[in-house]
Amino acid sequence: MIIQGQSHRIHAIRQAVNAQQWVIAEELLHEAMQRGRPDAETLYYMGILHEVRFEIDTAQEFGERSMRLLPNPGAALLIARAHRLRGETDEAVRMCDRALELAPGNVLALAIKAGSLEEAGRYDEALAVVEPLLERARQQGRQPDAPILAEWSKLLIHQKRYAEAIGVIDDLIANHQPDERRKCGLLYTRAKACDKAKDYEGAFRSAQEANTFEALPFDPEVYREQVTALMTHWSREKMANFPISSCTSEVPVFVAGMPRSGTSLIDQIIDAHPRAAGVGELDTIDRFALQLAGAWNPDLEPPESFGPFNSRKWTQVAEKYVREVRKLAPTAERIVNKSLGNNRLVGLIARLFPKTRIIHAIRDPRDVAVSCFMGGFNNRMHPWTTRIDWVVAAWEQSMRMMDHWKATLDVPILDVHYERLVRDPDTEFPRIIEFLGLEWDDACTEFHKSRRTVRTLSYDQVNRPLYTTSAGRNQNYARFLEGVDFPPYDPFA
């Protein structure tokens, strides 16, 4: 509870949110918003509603509005979680500290603070948050709070205390009654600990159970048809009549390809260059694509089929994007965006930024399949990650899309194979930098020394020196991959 004396409606909203009855919560919240100036708690719960939809920017906006009306720990933590998801560690920690000022000892604030620091590779600082809480619980003869134990299990993995991490997770699952989402997260962490301990069966079984939560159906044939439709729509002949931006900036660079294909490593290499930067998985272009889809009229020929989104509007969107990324990296001459949806949007990107460069990240489909399956993606956004054979189908369609863009677009596209990247960095790193039109800088080889937080499943990998052990990772899970029809792949051909 963040405000005393709420109305009956607020009480009903709180109950619906706590029960995760989102349809009811949405109806009640919209009623409350329409009845005049909303109070701080209504704004807070509106933020929560957007957060569960992964509309993070909007969730943060409602959290900030709630805080302006009445500072409260719930809204502060809503804002902290938004910063954490973007990899904005210092801002996330600051908002956790603000929540702790408002509610000293708040366990959730301490857990989010520790988790934000852990994801930034600031393990000693995370331990400084968690260890006193563990010691206090021991002295009081009680179990530590579940959110703290969950963060502790991750820190144990970094300390290579894998058996202890697994024990903590098993106890949390057995004795703390986590809800489905928390249990899912714990199982993915367990899979990671088992993998590190070389208990590959335990790792696979943990990920398999985790992938049952929020799993959605996926039909590879339907997905193939959707990709075919996209390629037909974005053919060279049709694109000739599409709107095109007059933006001439060479600043925007995009990494496209399957997740877990080295996109984060490429991002870090580029970001380490003194004249370049990375902005992670910025979804600005994804949101514009949704606007275009909403306005599209299939009964008209392009450019009229795009409705109000003419070339002038596309130029405005492109120039606004350039301003947005320049604000994040004011001195950079090249700024890379590795949003997961880029492989679908390369055609749109090329029409928005005719001077852009595209880097296509490619990795062995067997390794991609294992990494996606084990990784803990958002199953609702990427339903194909919950089965090995589905990941393979998605990999094939991603390659098909990228081949289409190479054949139909005039912007340069550079293939970067993960296996080559990690085994021959002396060749591959400079090749990437040269492709961007920049001179080589040795800082790129020390990308792991950056204190930048990479908000991705690879966060604890790209903050380490280059290593090759992830190439061929699938061999550890060979018996679980039997019967799956993998496409041929040779990065050195």
Evaluated on CA atoms 298, 291, 351, 255, the torsion sign reads negative
pLDDT at 274: 96
| CA atoms of 68 and 109, how far apart (whole Å) | 19
- Using DSSP, state whether 447 is helix, strand or coil: helix
- Using DSSP, state whether 435 is helix, strand or coil: helix
Evaluated on CA atoms 323, 324, 327, 333, the torsion sign reads negative
Q: Which two tokens stand for residue 97?
A: 């500290």
Over its C-alpha atoms, the chain yields an Rg (Å, rounded) of 24
| Residues in Cβ contact with 235 at an 8 Å cutoff, skipping those fewer than 6 apart | 408
pLDDT at 437: 98
**Closest CA relative to residue 127, chosen from 140, 137, 136, 114:** 114
| Residues in Cβ contact with 378 at an 8 Å cutoff, skipping those fewer than 6 apart | 54
pLDDT at 453: 54
Evaluated on CA atoms 476, 482, 484, 488, the torsion sign reads positive
pLDDT at 183: 95
Query: What letter represents residue 96's amino acid?
Result: C
| CA atoms of 140 and 129, how far apart (whole Å) | 18
Q: What's the pTM?
A: 0.87
Fold (CATH) for 220-480: Rossmann fold (3.40.50)
pLDDT at 467: 56
pLDDT at 137: 96
Q: Where are the chain's structural domains?
A: 220-480
pLDDT at 399: 98
**Could you check whether the bond before residue 303 is cis, i.e. omega within 30 degrees of 0?**
yes
pLDDT, block means (10 residues), the chain with 493 residues: 56 87 89 87 94 90 97 98 92 98 97 96 96 96 96 98 98 93 94 97 96 89 98 96 97 96 95 95 93 94 95 98 96 96 97 98 97 81 92 98 98 97 96 98 88 52 56 92 95 89
pLDDT at 35: 82
pLDDT at 5: 37
